[in-house]
Amino acid sequence: MHFVCTQKSNIFQQSIQNQKMRTRILMLLISALPLLSMSQEVISGKETPYIEVVGTGEMEIIPDQIYISFTLKERFEGKKKIEIEDQEKDMKKRLMKLNIDLKDLQLADANSDFIKIKRKKTDVISSKDYLLKVSTTGTLAQVFETLDETNAFNAEIQRVDHSEIKKFRKDVKMLAVQEAKEKAGYLLSAIGETVGKPLFIQERENYDEFQPLRKSAMMPMMVMDAVQNEEVLPELSFQKIKLKYSVFARFAIK
């Protein structure tokens, strides 16, 4: 009886080992299938030939959003103290006469209303920083004139932007893809081939280039001179916003 049990145990163990061996072989075959398939595709000539190119799109746009920063400060005219609130009311009236929407006027720092600046030991002067948005150089000239009349401080062009910048970004990216396909087409034409369907398109590192503005006192002075001389301030006073985007693309070769 002991011999029979031992023999059955050996047969059972051998069966388990055979089963493990078959499992290992099956796993090896499954893992090798992609390699076999790839090799078969290369051997049979089914691999898709392709061309890789980089396409670039560019656009320059004239800004229609010009942000002007300036400061109002308490001041004394003789012994009379001119409060910021009075200056602000006067400034708003003047801006409304220029058909400027007061919604485009805001505090530069929404979290802080006034900034106290100590002068000597007894006086405390309050100041308030503003940001005003205008859309044309003509309005800009009038605003600088108004700020000069209201004795505003540190008036300068802070930045520029465009109201449809998102749309222009999309347009430039589309130009980049179109340029990539066009490039692939004329490169392949040199060897008598034609471009096929896209296999892969990847957006590359992109940027918006906002040309630096002359933010010194020279810009307001130039604008004021143009107003006083009744000159038309040219759009070239502002550098254009340059959009540049590129894509990496892979196209099949027919």
Average pLDDT over residues 56-79: 90
Q: Which residue has the higher pLDDT, 14 or 49?
A: 49
pLDDT of residue 35: 42
Helix (H, G, I), strand (E, B) or coil at 17: helix
Q: Based on the domain organization, do 75 and 201 belong to the same domain?
A: no
Q: What is the CATH number of the domain that holds 211?
A: 3.30.110.170
pLDDT for 25 equals 54
Distance (Å, rounded) from C-alpha 69 to C-alpha 111? 16
Q: What is the mean pLDDT of residues 123-135?
A: 84
pLDDT at residue 203, rounded to an integer: 92
Query: Does residue 38 sit in the same domain as residue 53?
Result: no
119 and 143 inside one domain: yes
Residues 37 and 152 in one domain: no
Region 33-55: mean pLDDT is 63
Across 126-140, average pLDDT:
90
Domain edge (last residue) among 118, 140, 161: 161
pLDDT grade, residue 234 (50/70/90)? Answer: very low
Residues 135 and 70 grouped into a single domain:
yes
Same-domain check for residues 101 and 145: yes
List the domain range (segments joined by +) for residue 168: 48-62+164-216+238-254
CA–CA distance, 251 with 93 (Å, rounded to integer): 61
Judged on CB neighbours under 10 Å (0-12, 13-18, 19+), 111 is exposed
Quick check: 102 pLDDT over 90? yes
- pLDDT of 112: 47
Structural domains in the chain (count)? 3
Kindly report the number of other CB atoms within 10 A of residue 45's CB atom. Answer: 7
Same structural domain, 243 and 187: yes
DSSP string, 82-149: E-HHHHHHHHHHHHHHTT--GGGEEESSTT-S-EEEEETTTEEEEEEEEEEEESSHHHHHHHHHHHHH
- Report the DSSP beta bridge partners of residue 224: none
pLDDT band at 39 (very low <50, low <70, confident <90, very high): very low
| Residue 224 forms part of a structural domain | no
Whether 67 shows a pLDDT value over 60: the answer reads yes
